[in-house]
């Protein structure tokens, strides 16, 4: 169990470690972030960034994506994995954005969750990064690090989202989740975490015992 003072210190240390470049997905338009996030499911951001330039060049508008042939979209995103589902989701989400949301990415959780292939994680990315609303993004890194640190002791993503919403200051939760991702990649991966160089080791249940 961590005190509020300890939580604040963890936030501060991670801010110092990762001052900027919080979002590692490259995008220009809002819907590009939405679809890049969909592509990032069980795939590295690095690989997503590798395929999106050619993909968005081939389909430069939301309308062109809505009219796209799913099999052709699959060719561009194939290396990201789950390409049948992802291609279908992207094309039908593009259609729904046009038909139901005036061609704009909506700014509420309820509306975002109506889009095919958009779950709470993707929705929170949009709420946080596009609309600058309080958002808790729970992905594989957030699950692993918040458990190792000892902020939570369960794996269910929605339960973690609710727990972190209570623990973290609303105006800092989104950036904090981004930094957990960066820290997860650089210092605290699933295998062989580098506790010896970790800035928050003293506040981490796992780090204190390893």
Partner DNA sequence: ATCCCGAGGG
Partner DNA sequence: CCCTCTGGAT
Instruction: List interacting residues with DNA (CB under 7 A).
Output: 22-25, 37-38, 40-47, 78-85, 89, 113, 115-123, 125, 137, 139-141, 144, 155-156, 178, 181, 184-185, 189-191
Q: Is 80 annotated as a binding residue?
A: no
Q: Is 142 annotated as a binding residue?
A: no
Separation of alpha carbons 79 and 83, rounded Å: 8
Which residues contact residue 188 at a Cβ distance below 8 angstroms, ignoring those fewer than 6 apart? 144, 145, 148, 194, 198
Cα–Cα nearest to 141, from 157, 127, 165 = 157
Separation of alpha carbons 104 and 46, rounded Å: 26
Cα–Cα nearest to 95, from 71, 63, 59 = 63
Selecting among 30, 129, 139, 175, the annotated active-site residue is 139
If the CB atoms of residues 82 and 131 are measured against DNA, the closer one turns out to be 82
If the CB atoms of residues 6 and 162 are measured against DNA, the closer one turns out to be 162
If the CB atoms of residues 3 and 42 are measured against DNA, the closer one turns out to be 42
Q: Is 188 annotated as a binding residue?
A: yes
Selecting among 30, 86, 89, 121, the annotated active-site residue is 121
If the CB atoms of residues 60 and 189 are measured against DNA, the closer one turns out to be 189
What secondary structure letter does DSSP report for 103? T
Question: Does the annotation count 194 as an active-site position?
Answer: no
Shortest CB 83 distance to DNA, Å: 6
- Residue for token pair 């972190």: 164
Question: Does the annotation count 4 as an active-site position?
Answer: no
Separation of alpha carbons 99 and 93, rounded Å: 10
Shortest CB 8 distance to DNA, Å: 23
Burial of 141 (0-12, 13-18, 19+ CB in 10 A): buried
Separation of alpha carbons 153 and 172, rounded Å: 21
Shortest CB 65 distance to DNA, Å: 17
Shortest CB 3 distance to DNA, Å: 27
Q: Is 23 annotated as a binding residue?
A: no
Q: Can you say which residues are annotated as belonging to the binding site?
A: 188, 195, 198, 204
Q: Can you say which residues are annotated as belonging to the binding site for [4Fe-4S] cluster?
A: 188, 195, 198, 204
Q: Active-site positions?
A: 121, 139
């Amino acid at each position: 169990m961590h005190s509020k003072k300890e939580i604040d210190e963890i936030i501060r240390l991670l801010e110092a470690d990762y001052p900027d470049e919080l979002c590692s997905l490259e995008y220009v338009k809002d819907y590009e972030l939405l679809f890049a996030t969909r592509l990032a499911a069980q795939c590295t951001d690095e690989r997503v960034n590798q395929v999106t330039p050619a993909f968005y060049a081939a389909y430069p508008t939301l309308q062109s994506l809505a009219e796209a042939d799913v099999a052709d979209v699959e060719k561009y995103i194939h290396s990201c994995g789950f390409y049948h589902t992802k291609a279908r989701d992207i094309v039908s989400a593009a259609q729904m954005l046009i038909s139901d949301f005036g061609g704009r990415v909506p700014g509420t959780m309820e509306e975002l969750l109506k889009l095919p292939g958009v779950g709470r994680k993707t929705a929170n990315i949009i709420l946080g990064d596009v609309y600058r609303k309080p958002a808790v993004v729970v992905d594989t890194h957030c699950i692993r690090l918040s458990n190792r640190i000892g902020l939570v002791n369960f794996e269910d993503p929605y339960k973690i989202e609710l727990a972190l919403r209570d623990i973290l200051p609303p105006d800092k939760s989104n950036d904090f989740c981004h930094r957990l991702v960066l820290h997860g990649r650089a210092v605290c991966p699933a295998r062989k975490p580098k506790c010896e160089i970790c800035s928050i080791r003293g506040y981490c249940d796992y780090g204190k015992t390893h």
